[in-house]
Structure formats: structure tokens, C-alpha cells
A and B are shown apart, each in its own frame.
Chain A
Amino acid sequence: RSATSVGAIRFACYQARSFCSGGGGLSAAAATATESAGSSGASLQHADQGVEAGGILNAAKYGGRHHVSLIPGDGIGPELMDSVKTIVNVAGSPIDFEEIPLSAERGTDEDMRRAILSIKRNGVGLKGNLETFEGMTSKNVQLRTKLDLFAYVQRCKSIEGVPSRYSDIDILVIRENTEGEYSQLEHFNVPGVVESFKIITEAKSRQIAKFAFDTAIKTRRHRVTAVHKANIMKLSDGLFLDVCRDVARDYPSIEFNDVIVDNCCMQLVARPQQFDIMVLPNLYGNIIGNIAAGLVGGPGVAAGMNIGRKYAVFEAGTRNSGRSIRGKNIANPSALLLTTADMLEYLGDAEDAKKLRNAVLTVLRSGIRTPDLGGSSNTKEVVDAVVQYLLQVRGH
């Protein structure tokens, strides 16, 4: 498997982008540039350089440093983001965080607008989970749909030293992130009767399917499995499945199969090693993503990324706010740190990403773990251990 899988995922995103914008302008150039390295033309150069050298096409990069929008969120978000800032500093990564005050309490339309503007400006964001109280619309969903972050990618890989019932799991869950059951279209038909609409479109299904297959090619993986319930939801999931099958025809080197979601769950707890890349609509992606994360160690070590054509927002894989453990210094920082490593790779700093990832994995292996992994260390102890490792590596 490719070590720079995040870079590969970004590449796949460019491919998807060229498809979606109908092949117009710069995006088409970007796509063709990648296919034939060394294309000519000044207008193509930036794109070429962007992809080949691992930089970003249109994200802010001043003086060699990246600007990243930071949304601490609710629950354990703020305390863990502090750890991230500390560690990014120690590691010497060229990241400047632009902190955005958006939370469940502070969440007016204006606050949301500013957050979105910031992420559009910087191109990359790192966020905690924003809580949704009764009567509110989910801000997390708003961010994802307004920024058109169409794919949610979770890499669920067995981690040495993290207790688990299984070994050798390496599943890439690719979930459609903007439509399906999360369309938030509901109304009371008559009192006591609610209708909720699930929307599936061919365009978005094709986009996510193509993204999945492109990712398969670039990460040198072998199989894509579509998960659905098309035996019951014949039109909606049927459309999703048909489109996946159609897209599969363009990738004869990648194996394709499909499985019904309830059977998939049973297979995951019986023999999870059979899965490689899974592509799913929104809700099933939520369920399967959480199951897969649970199989390899739980929310404390899960990393996730929301990828769009132009922007990317990174967050802890299972998107929990951790309300009940807030302020108790027992939250596991590993998830957010591994996510930050993915973000560094996305930004083109593969070296720093590798250093940070190694640091976290080494600390996990050494037994310094928070209670969720069966350990007795607290958040600060884990963070300090990571800092120590990074300082050692830096030669201090």
C-alpha cells in the first residue's frame, strides 16, 4: 500500500474535479497535466507543479507556511486542539492556524458564513465536532454541504499495540458526504406523521464512485465494494449501485463487488479482513465507518478527512464531541494527531507527516495510553510523550 495515501487521495480528488466540472478550464488542465507529466503552457505549470510537487492549487501559502482554518468545536475539541497546536509547534511544521470561533453556543448564520469564508480562503480546515442541540440544524452537515466536501474518507488500519479482537485489518471507507439521508428535508405531513426524504442523484453517486476507483488506482489497492440496500430501496440505492457498476467498467484492473448493508455488518464482525475499499451512500457510510473504526481500536485512534473538489476539512474519524469526558484530561489525542498528520501530507509536507505519525504510533506501542485504550495515562502524559519523541527526532 502506498505510504502517501493521502497524497493519492488528493490526486483522486483532482480527477473527480475534472470529471465534475465537465472538463472546463483549469481543472481539466490539472487532470491532463497529471496524466502527461511535463505538459507545456504557463497556465498549466502551476497545476503541474501543484500536483507533482505535492503543493496546493489554490490554498493560501505565504512564505512557505500554510494557513489552516481551525474550528475547535465542542466537548473535548478545544482541549485536544491545544495539544495539536503544541505538537505542530514542537515538530516545526510550517502551519499557522487561523482559529474560528464556531460552536454550538456561538453559531449564528454570520459565524457560519465567516467560518466557510475562512476555509475557502485557506483551502484546508481542521475541525472538532460541533454539537447539535434539539431544534438546531447540524452545523457539521452545513459545513460539509456548503463547501461541497463530497467524500468522507476513513482509513481503518490495525495499529500495533492497540488492543483489538482482530489483526491485519486495512479498510478504506469512502462515504458520500453531502446527500442521501442527510439531505435534511423533513416535514410533518399531518400531525403525528413525519416524512423524511432521502435523495440520491446520479451525479453525486458517479462522483463518489469515480473518486473511490481513482483512489484505488493511486493507493495500489485491489478491490472496491459498494454497500447498499437495493433489494428494499430499489430506486434510490438501486441508482447508487447501478452507477457504481457503470463506473467500475472504466476500471477493469480494479475488482468490484457489492454487498447488502446488513450482511456487510455481519461480515465485518466475522471476517473484516475481506474488505479493501468500501464505497457507500451517506448513512451506511456513517454506520460502517463507525463499525470499522471500532474494530481497529475505537474513536481514540480514528482519523477522517472530508474532501471536496477545492477544499478539505480534517476531523477525528468518528466525529464524536466527547461531551461526557470534557475537561477531565482523559481524552485520547491520538485521533486528532493522526488526522493532523494526514493533513500535513495533504498539504505536501510528507516528511513532517511521517514524523508525526511515527511519534503517535510509537507512543501507542510503548503502552502510554489513555483509558479508552485500556491504559492509565491522561491526555497530558500522552501529549508529553509525543513531544519528547519529536524532540528526540529533532536532535534536541
Chain B
Amino acid sequence: MAELWSAISAALPVTEAEFPLDFSEKVEPSVVDVLKRCREQLYTRSGRWRQNAQIILDFSWEKLNTGTWRDVDKEWRCLYSYGCLFKVAALCRDDASPATVQEAIRTCDMGLLMGAAIMDNILQTFVRILQNEIGKRHSNEEDPGEGVSAKKMKVDCVSVPVVKQDRAVPRIHCPSLESFKKDYLDPQKPVILEGIIDHWPAFKNHPWSIEYLQTVAGCRTVPVEVGSRYTDEEWSQTLLTVNEFIDRYIVVKGASSLGYLAQHQLFDQVPELKDDIRIPDYCCLGEGDEDDITINAWFGPGGTVSPLHQDPQQNFLAQVVGRKYIRLYSPEDTEKLYPHQLQLLHNTSQVEVESPDVVRFPAFVKAPYLECVLQPGEVLFIPVKHWHYVRSLELSFSVSFWWS
């Protein structure tokens, strides 16, 4: 048990004097006072530092919920990360029970999700130490009787849509950069690129599976969307560990609700998964550099739906596990797609693509489209602002690359 604490404290600055607490004047002196209390209590090991860490977390949480997320000052996100740091240190100092270690990992994840990197991304370092602790415990224990692979997935009777020949998204195998640019990027035409991700470790070295994800990220906390689609009233977001998400929404599919780990930068949070993928070479045809590319994970059971919408960047949608039905509409036909009037949803169509209300949206059926069933190993190029509708046909894991 002392090993956990010594590993954690080894990751921290040796002395209190070397522990940086520099903030702009935006952060009030009273708050800095509490931070200094936390720091002092961390190094003198006295006082109720768990409580003081909580004060920092609660104060910064309120700041993070003030105004729009985009406009939240980075100082408050840093402050939140400091709160997580002190809380994790307090947890690990007290004991190293499985429940405590899990709570500490969750705290690190909250800091990674909502905070900003501090002290050389120390929260990521803490996660590694904590996952190690879990790993040590498992190697000492016998394998639990009900093995992970024993969990049977509910098998869906999947109705795979038949793609009409004249509507099919064109396919090309390993095009050169020049031909991709000339034939698809410049004219902004969708295309499925085959054979360009076969080399991914996600296919070769550690094929992605439920078991693999549980091993690599099972205890990590991630945001999950609950509800059939984000335009629904019942739709909400919650935070679950990957294990909980798999247990609740993948293995035993909920009768009433779908869960979707959607649009989440999982690969920043779990570096091991980032090593399993590669940024497509074709992204170099864009203007930004690699740091400007947003990589999102999309992991969920069959039946998840992303309503017809458009994004402000080019997109490579790489399919790793399972199949997805995708339909694409050109931005030229936007009026036939009846976008929502609300500012918040103006990039989303009001129409339910696979069962459109022809009375309310008569022009929709006249809009031309392309469609496909995207298979594992294939990458769909979705040009910027191209409307797209996605429905998973079975357990699915996709990786999207947003680039400009």
C-alpha cells in the first residue's frame, strides 16, 4: 500500500518550494490561499487536505459552468486540474483499496476531460501509476470466474440496407496523394478509400475488441451519450467507466435506451489506443499541422444514430470494428434538408433520414444523395459541410479525423 503513495509522491516535486502555484490576477487571492493550504498540507501531511482539495474542485467547477465552455478562461481549467491533483494525492495517501484506486483514476479522468494540463500533464502520469496498481492486483489474484470473454453480446438481427448501385459512394484502392486531391478533395466529392489503414496496429498487432478495450481502458471514465439521438428530448450525457459502458450498453443492450461513446477525444486520454492508429497521410494535403487535427472515437452498439448533420471541417471516417450505414447529401441541396432554425442546431437537419415526414418536409425525397455500408478497414472521405447520416448496424468502433 505504501508503494502506491511512494510512486505518487515520486511524481510530485520534491519540496514544497519547488511546487509551482502561479496564477494570473484573475484567480482571487482567497482561492490562492486555499491552494497554498493544500500544498502545505500535502508536504507536511497534516490537516484536512482532502477537504481543501474539494474546495478547489467545487470553486473551479462553478467557474467551468459559467459562460460558454469555449470562453472559460484556461486559468479555471488549470485550477480544476490542481484540485484533482490534490484530491488524488489525498486519496492515495490514505489507502490503496480497489475502490480508492478507482476513485483516484476517475478523478484524474475528470481533470483530463475538464481541466487543462498542469505540471507536465501530471494527471496522465498519475493514471499510469494507478493503472499499474490495478495491474499488480490482478496478477496476484486468480482470474475471475466469469471471464470477460464469457460475456455474451446480444446478437441483433441486423437488417443491412441494400445500397443502390447508382447511389453508391465510389470506391478507390490506395490512391496517390495527387489523384486523391485532383479527383476528390478539390472537387469535394465523397469517396471510400480502401486499403489505407490495413497497417494500423488496431487491425494487426492488437485487433480491437471488447476484451482489448476493457484491458487497456476499462477503468477510465468517459462521456457517454444516452438516448436514441441528440435531437431527442430524452437525450442526455453521463460519465461512465469504459467497463460500465460496456456492461450497460454493449453486452446487455438496454431495452429503452442506447448508449454511445461518441465524439470523444479518447486517444488524448488513453495514449495506448493512440498508438494503435495512424493519421491518414492524405491529411497533409490540408493547411494545418498534425496538432490541428481532431481525432474522435465513436464506439457503441448496433442502432446508434447520428442525425443528418454537417461539420465545419474535412473528415476521414475510419471504420475499425463493425459496419455502419451512411448517407451523404451535398451542401448544394441544403434547403431540401430543412436545417433547424435554432442557433444551437443549425448544422442539423430536422428530417429523419430513414423515415422522413413527407408532409412536413416534402422537398427531402427529391434531394439527391450517395449511400454506403462502411466496412472494417475502409475510410470514408466526407468533404467539409457535406451532410451525413450514420447508423451503426452492429457493435461498431470508428475513428474520425477532422482536418482542414
Partners in one complex: no
